[in-house]
């Protein structure tokens, strides 16, 4: 009887989650998938076709934009990891216990506001009449304002900024289980800091690195605001192509096909990354 009561309670609490996933994720995606295979015949009648997917490979601008987006998303992920690793190590291993919570709150603080507000904050700092140019002109570092916006470097910086928390949190969680005596023993054996990082810290943090990299990569790949606002009109981000098909061209069939191509190709990239690092999703998720 207790077993049956536990099952009923379990399914009672789980059913809202399953209903939420089914209604708001599964059904819309199935509808978009069916929409991606729809087209019109020469007579204007609806037909089933693969033309929406073929257009991705026929038009060079589409697959070139995706390759560029995937490459820049990888660069963003790598830069985020390089910055997040020392920050996470300092919070977990070097900072005092009383200040760890304060430092964590400082990391969370920018994410209490909308991404749009955060991006516009950077634009105010970096534009020609912005804060940075103002102080550099006052200090005599430059003679005239410099346009720091609307280039790939600024766009990547914005993507790193908006994704940093999602790399730091997994690294903090795995570093908390790292035994300090291993690092102390390595110091006693006169190992260099690079050797300690390479042979102790990174191998131990591998699941956190992989999970954080997956999240950051997917967020960067599917980001629309930051590339559009900080990268300018020449950002060539694939999500902008999807937006243009849905909103500008009212071609929902093509937009749905591009959306699923983005999902499939990004999943393939993540699968290849897991195979290269010899990990599986079960290890990463745990």
pLDDT recorded at residue 3: 56
Query: Is the separation of the CB atoms in 235 and 227 below 8 Å?
Result: yes
Cα distance between residue 151 and residue 132, in whole Å: 16
pLDDT recorded at residue 274: 83
Alpha helices in the chain (DSSP H): 2-21, 27-36, 51-58, 60-89, 97-108, 115-126, 131-138, 152-175, 180-188, 193-196, 202-204, 206-221, 225-230, 238-243, 252-276, 281-285
pLDDT recorded at residue 1: 47
Residue carrying structure tokens 């690793």: 85
pTM above 0.95, yes or no: no
Nearest to 119 by CA among 154, 77, 83: 154
Backbone φ and ψ for 38, nearest 5 degrees, come out as -100, 150
Tokens (6 digits) for 104: 């964590």
The CATH class, in words, for 53-92+113-285 is: mainly alpha
Cα distance between residue 170 and residue 143, in whole Å: 44
pLDDT recorded at residue 44: 65
Question: Where do the domains of the chain lie?
Answer: 53-92+113-285
Long-range contacts of 116-122 (CB under 8 A, 24+ apart): 116/225, 118/161, 118/162, 119/158, 119/162, 119/225, 119/226, 119/229, 119/230, 120/229, 122/154, 122/157, 122/158, 122/161, 122/230
pLDDT, mean of each 10-residue run, the chain (286 residues):
65 84 88 89 78 90 92 95 94 88 86 87 87 88 86 91 92 90 87 89 90 93 90 82 89 92 89 80 61
Cα distance between residue 122 and residue 134, in whole Å: 14
Cα distance between residue 141 and residue 143, in whole Å: 7
């Amino acid at each position: 009887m207790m077993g049956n009561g536990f099952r009923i309670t379990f399914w009672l609490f789980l059913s809202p989650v399953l209903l939420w996933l089914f209604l708001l994720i599964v059904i819309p995606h199935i509808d978009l998938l069916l929409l991606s295979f729809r087209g019109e015949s020469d007579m204007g009648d609806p037909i089933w076709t693969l033309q929406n997917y073929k257009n991705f490979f026929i038009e060079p601008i589409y697959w070139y934009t995706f390759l560029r987006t995937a490459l820049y998303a990888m660069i963003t992920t790598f830069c985020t990891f390089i910055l997040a690793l020392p920050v996470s190590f300092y919070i977990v291993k070097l900072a005092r216990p009383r200040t760890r919570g304060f430092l964590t709150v400082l990391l969370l603080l920018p994410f209490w506001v909308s991404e749009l507000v955060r991006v516009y904050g950077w634009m105010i700092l970096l534009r020609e009449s912005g804060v940075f140019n103002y102080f550099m002109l006052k200090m005599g570092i430059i003679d005239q304002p410099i346009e720091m916006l609307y280039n790939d470097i600024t766009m990547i910086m914005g993507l790193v900024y908006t994704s940093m928390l999602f790399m730091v949190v997994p690294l903090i969680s795995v570093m908390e289980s790292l035994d300090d005596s291993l690092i102390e023993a390595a110091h006693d054996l006169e190992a260099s800091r690079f050797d300690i990082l390479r042979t102790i810290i990174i191998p131990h943090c591998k699941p956190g690195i992989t999970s954080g990299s997956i999240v950051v990569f997917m967020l960067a790949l599917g980001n629309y605001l930051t590339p559009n606002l900080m990268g300018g009109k020449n950002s060539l981000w694939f999500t902008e192509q999807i937006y243009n098909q849905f909103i500008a061209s009212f071609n929902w069939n093509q937009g749905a096909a591009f959306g699923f191509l983005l999902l499939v190709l990004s999943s393939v990239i993540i699968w290849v990354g897991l195979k290269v690092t010899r990990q599986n999703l079960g290890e990463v998720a745990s």
